[in-house]
């Protein structure tokens, strides 16, 4: 039984000792977990960081420790010419704060290969809980919505962790309103949260505010990466940071969004927490991707699922 003065998500993990905190959707998703990382560490948890990576990991000198899994250190280099390596710059930022933190990076692959990489880390660190972090809300799309955002990486991570050895699995989503940029209906997001809530899979909200040390660390890490990857600044991370800093409306912290209209708002800094199992049970395309071994096979599974759809829940605006 949960209590009003406690957040159900933190009640669920209170006995967890070794937690794998992983970015679900690639890119900068792991940065969205920085406030949570420091909160978990402060409560005495051992926290390992990982990220589904968009970096060209085979063009780095990071250590390939398992098929499709790399250990990224602060001093590692990237040699593709893209200057895109958010995991390296996050590790470098930690070092600038006096901490030595390696970031594990999952290469883009299918569910089964990713599951094996998760199980490697689960065994290596005796992980008892995995927390996936999604910057944005498209991970909560069930598959019959008109506008799924960018579901490939999120769905791959969720399916892999669901099948992994971990005893407890969760998803936290931060950035309400960001995925309007990607065509997601937040009316449908809230509808899906309500459905998951009816099934007992919704674990409440908590929020990162600039008055908190955890939020200030997030600000520092994002600004650190912005300076080192000026052409690849994260739309999601910078939008969340804008909201934390009190911006509202069509505010652009990065030039990457200059030709679009944004809705920076205070709800962007809220974490929505869920049992991962409850989301998978509602996911209508899970069976089409669960056995995929490559990202190509996952894409094919999503395409095959889309051919079966006879009805889409149309995009709707929140009626307020």
pLDDT tens per residue, range 241-297? 999 999 999 999 898 888 888 899 999 999 999 999 999 999 999 999 999 999 999
pLDDT in tens, the chain (320 residues): 889 999 999 999 999 999 999 999 889 999 999 999 999 999 999 999 999 999 999 999 999 999 999 999 999 999 999 999 999 999 999 999 999 999 999 999 999 999 999 999 999 999 999 999 999 988 999 988 876 656 678 999 999 999 999 999 999 999 998 887 667 888 999 999 999 999 999 999 999 999 999 999 999 999 999 999 999 999 999 999 999 999 999 999 898 888 888 899 999 999 999 999 999 999 999 999 999 999 999 999 999 998 998 888 888 888 87
* Matching residue, tokens 């669960």: 290
Rounded to whole angstroms, how far apart are CA atoms 40 and 237? 20
Global confidence as pTM:
0.96
Terminus-to-terminus CA distance in the chain, angstroms? 33
pLDDT at residue 183 in the model: 75
Rounded to whole angstroms, how far apart are CA atoms 208 and 213? 9
pLDDT at residue 181 in the model: 67
Residues 6 or more apart in contact with residue 162 via CB below 8 angstroms: 169, 276, 277, 280
Rounded-to-10 torsion of CA 33, 35, 40, 46: 60
How far is Cα of residue 100 from the mean position of the Cα atoms in its chain? 22
Cβ count within 10 A of residue 112: 16
Rg of the chain (C-alpha set): 18
Plot region of 225 (φ>0 → left; ψ -120 to 50 → alpha; else → beta):
alpha
Q: What is the pLDDT of residues 153-165, one digit of tens each?
A: 899 999 999 999 9
pLDDT at residue 148 in the model: 60
Cβ count within 10 A of residue 103: 27
Q: Is 249 helix (H, G, I), strand (E, B) or coil?
A: strand
């Amino acid at each position: 039984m949960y209590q009003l003065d406690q957040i159900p998500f933190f009640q669920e993990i209170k006995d967890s000792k070794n937690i794998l905190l992983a970015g679900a959707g690639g890119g900068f998703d792991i940065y969205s977990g920085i406030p949570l990382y420091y909160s978990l560490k402060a409560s005495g948890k051992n926290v390992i960081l990982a990220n589904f990576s968009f970096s060209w990991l085979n063009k780095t000198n990071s250590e390939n420790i398992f098929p499709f899994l790399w250990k990224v250190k602060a001093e590692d280099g990237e040699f593709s010419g893209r200057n895109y390596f958010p995991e390296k710059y996050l590790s470098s930022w930690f070092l600038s704060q006096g901490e030595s933190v390696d970031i594990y990076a999952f290469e883009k692959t299918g569910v089964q290969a990713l599951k094996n990489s998760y199980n490697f880390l689960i065994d290596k660190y005796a992980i008892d809980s995995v927390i996936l972090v999604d910057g944005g809300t498209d991970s909560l799309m069930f598959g019959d919505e008109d506008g799924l955002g960018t579901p490939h990486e999120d769905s791959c991570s969720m399916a892999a962790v669901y099948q992994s050895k971990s005893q407890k699995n969760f998803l936290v989503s931060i950035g309400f309103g960001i995925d309007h940029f990607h065509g997601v209906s937040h009316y449908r997001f809230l509808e899906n949260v309500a459905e998951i809530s009816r099934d007992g899979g919704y674990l409440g909200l908590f929020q990162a505010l600039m008055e908190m040390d955890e939020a200030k660390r997030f600000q520092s890490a994002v600004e650190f990466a912005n300076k080192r990857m000026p052409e690849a600044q994260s739309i999601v991370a910078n939008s969340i940071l804008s909201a934390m800093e009190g911006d509202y409306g069509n505010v652009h912290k990065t030039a990457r969004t200059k030709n679009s209209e944004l809705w920076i708002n205070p709800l962007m800094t809220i974490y929505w927490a869920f049992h991962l199992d409850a989301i998978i049970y509602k996911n209508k395309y899970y069976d089409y991707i669960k056995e995929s071994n490559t990202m190509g096979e996952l894409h094919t599974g999503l395409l095959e699922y889309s051919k079966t759809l006879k009805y889409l829940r149309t995009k709707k605006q929140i009626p307020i």
